[in-house]
Amino acid sequence: MISVHFPVLLVLVPLIAAPICLLLRPLPGATWAIATAASWFCLYVTVSLLFRVLDSGTISYLLGNWAAPWGIEYRIDLLNAFVLVIIAAIGAVVMPYARASVTREVSPRRIYLFYTMFCLNLAGLLGIAATGDAFNLFVFLEISAFSGYTLISLGRDRRALTATYRYVLMGTVGATFYVIGIGMLYMMTGTLNMMDLAARIPAVAQTRTIHAALAFLTVGVGLKLAMFPLHTWLPNAYTFAPSAVTAFLASTATKVAVYVLIRMYFTVFGGAEIFEMFPVRETLMVLALAGMFAGSFVAIFQENCKRMLAYSSVAQVGYMVLGISFATVTGLAGGMIHLFNHALMKCALFLVMGCIFYRISSVKIADMAGLGKRMPLTMAAFVVAGLSLIGVPATVGFVSKWYLVLAALEKGWWPIAALIVASSLLAVIYIWRVVEVAYFRPVPEGAPEVTEAPLSLLVPTWIMVLASVYFGIDASRTFEVAHAAATLLIGGGK
Amino acid sequence: MQFPGLFNYWIAIVLMMAGFYMVMAHGNLIKKIVGLNVFQVSVFVFYISMSKIKGGTAPILEPGFEVYSNPLPSVLILTAIVVGVATTALALALIVRIHDAYGTIEEDEINAQESES
């Protein structure tokens, strides 16, 4: 039965697709077909895994049939099944889009690299989410990071190179911090299996080594997920990367890092009561709130629309971290729903940026004057996804903010709830700036003729937009999964 | 403090901080990468030190071999060394392309060119 091996196949298939893409270098069409097939296969596998986990509980897969904790275990529970579906779905939607967009934005002799690196990146991200071994996670973290660096450096602007360089420095420091943290955990417990770690940490939780490990892990993962103030690599990297890359990375890479943080806090350190032992909650909460406001505030003043959305990502990551910092079932579920929702809407928004760039070769807000009439479908997608980012009812953005506010009120922290609402209002300002230019400014004299973006770009964009509306109206499905996963994590579900 | 005792860990910390400082303080892109390498090597030292037991040998199942050093951290570090080599290669390749694009590998000159455009 092949489906027994699904947990490892979802990593193996894109991993093997990558060198095949490299071999098929002279045929860009074939590389695209292989990468697309790999991403769709992953979507099928992850969705079937999610349903299997919902039906029959956690799946444990032993790599090479070596018994855990000595061998590497792939452990799919509700939390990572949920994250896996998000990653694979974004990949499967971005791939059909990528063909036209990448041909326009990447130099022709590097196109095969895009598909190769995309497959590697997908394998890395899915691996991070699937594995139950802390060191294995580091390996996948680096696979996804390296392919991500290459993807970003494919941008045509030379600033893509310096942005990548900064990302390499920060990313490597982050990953190395993670390794130091894992090393310290290994010193005290002698195991790398997450379940095993969770069982052994409480006995040694009061040692300095474990405390230092927690600090290193938090900062290392914080760098990867662009937690304020460790976000400085993000804006330039997202701005100068090709649009398809930004759309994919913005909605998966930081989300997976958020997943790692959740996994570390609630599974590995789950028995150690770190939220009581340390000011973890206060630290995370202050940084999350600072990120929410600083990110949104800086976004308001950006000239470049992609850069504006990148800063908005910093703010949105803040909401997820805020959800984690509550450490209650509602808060964690809210953070996880926001993880899903933000992936949808940020992917949609960056896909819109790709459509605009395809036609007018610019994503500066000033150049978008009158686009509302000239590219009506594209700009309508921007408006709907933008409303979702703000958190208007009947969009996904509303659902996650609703649960975050509920979580804050549950604890009686109404000032936090007020801050969540206030920071959403900042999103109104930066989204409105674009809408105002696109719809209410006349088309400048002598502007080149612009038509609607081609269907191969519009269809994936609208799939994301419609998904963000659909899951906004009917949130019961996502909430059910996220709530069950949060209960499992906080209820001491080992 | 007994000697060597925690000597290896002290060295790991010194290397770590020295490397980290180089990454932050140097303006030259290649020197930053040198710093990053030192930083990563400190982690290798850290891992290998923790597995070593005084008088310990490789885990051999024969009479006469009583004290074993844990081989796993060394194996993990082999992986981390590969990652380190890959980081260096990637960063150097990037620096070559940055040099082509900007004509310099000094951070402040690059920043000056970027703020002009």
* Residue-wise pLDDT tens digits, A78-129: 888 889 999 999 999 999 888 888 888 888 888 888 999 999 999 999 999 9
Give A-chain residues touching B90 at CB under 8 angstroms: 146, 149-150, 168
> Cβ–Cβ of A172/B86 closer than 8 Å?
no
Burial class (CB in 10 A: 0-12, 13-18, 19+), B61: exposed
pLDDT tens readout for residues A270-300: 776 777 777 888 888 889 999 999 989 898 8
Give B116→chain A minimum CA distance, Å. 12
Distance CA B78, CA B90 (A): 18
According to the model, what pLDDT value does residue B2 have? 59
Q: Residue B35's closest chain A neighbor by CA?
A: A169
Non-local CB neighbours of A119 within 8 Å, separated by 6+ positions = A14, A15, A17, A18, A21, A34, A35, A38
Asked if A305 contacts A467 with a C-beta cutoff of 8 angstroms, the reply is no
Q: CA–CA separation, B68 vs B56, rounded Å?
A: 5
Q: What's the pLDDT band for A493 if we cut at 50, 70, 90? A: very low
Q: Please name the residue of chain A whose CA is at the shortest distance from the CA of residue B20.
A: A173
Contacts of residue A267, defined as CB under 8 A and 6 or more positions apart, other chains included, come to A194, A195, A198, A489, A494
Residue A144 in this model has a pLDDT that exceeds 90: yes
Which residues, including other chains, have CB under 8 Å from residue A28's CB and lie 6 or more apart?
A103, A108, A111, A112, A115
Nearest to A161 among B39, B83, B98 (CB): B98
Phi-psi region of A65 (alpha: psi -120 to 50; beta: other; left: phi over 0): left
User: How high is the pLDDT of residue B31?
Assistant: 92
pLDDT over 50 (residue A494): no
Closest-CA residue to B87 (of B35, B49, B48): B35
Could you say which DSSP state residue A452 is in?
Answer: P
What does the alpha-carbon distance between residue A466 and residue A256 come to, in Å, rounded to a whole number?
23
**How much of chain A exceeds pLDDT 70, in percent?**
98
Rounded Cα gap, residues A421 and A433, in angstroms: 19
Closest CA in chain B for residue A141? B83
**φ, ψ at A421 (rounded to 5°):** -65, -45
Nearest by CB: A169 against B36, B86, B114: B36
**Residue A478 in contact with residue A471, Cβ under 8 Å?**
yes
Q: Given a cut of 90, is residue A149 above it in pLDDT?
A: yes
At residue B3 the predicted structure's pLDDT band, cuts being 50, 70 and 90, is: low
B47 and A153 in contact by Cβ < 8 A? no
A332-348 pLDDT tens trace:
888 888 998 899 889 99
**Chain B neighbors of A161, CB-CB under 8 A:** 94, 97-98, 101
The pLDDT of residue B92 is above 90: yes
The Cα–Cα gap between A115 and A98 comes to 9
Q: Which domains does chain B have, with CATH numbers?
A: 7-53+62-116 (1.10.287.3510)
Considering only CB atoms, A168 lies closest to which of B76, B79, B91, namely: B91
Establish whether the linkage from the previous residue to A229 is cis, with ω within 30° of 0.
Answer: yes
Are the Cβ atoms of A172 and B32 closer than 8 angstroms? Answer: no
A400-409 tens-digit pLDDT:
888 888 888 8
B98 vs A165, A175, A190: nearest CB: A165
Selecting from B46, B47, B94 the residue whose C-beta is nearest the C-beta of A164 gives: B94
Residue of A nearest to B98 (CA): A161
Q: Which residues of B touch A146 (CB under 8 A)?
A: 86-87, 90
Q: Model pTM greater than 0.80? A: yes
> In Å, what is the CA distance from A462 to each residue of A89, A193, A281, A401, A457?
14, 41, 38, 23, 9
Q: How far is A122 from chain B (nearest CA, A)?
A: 18
**3-class DSSP state for residue A162?**
helix
This model of the complex carries an ipTM of 0.92
Rounded CA separation A355/A120 (Å) = 25
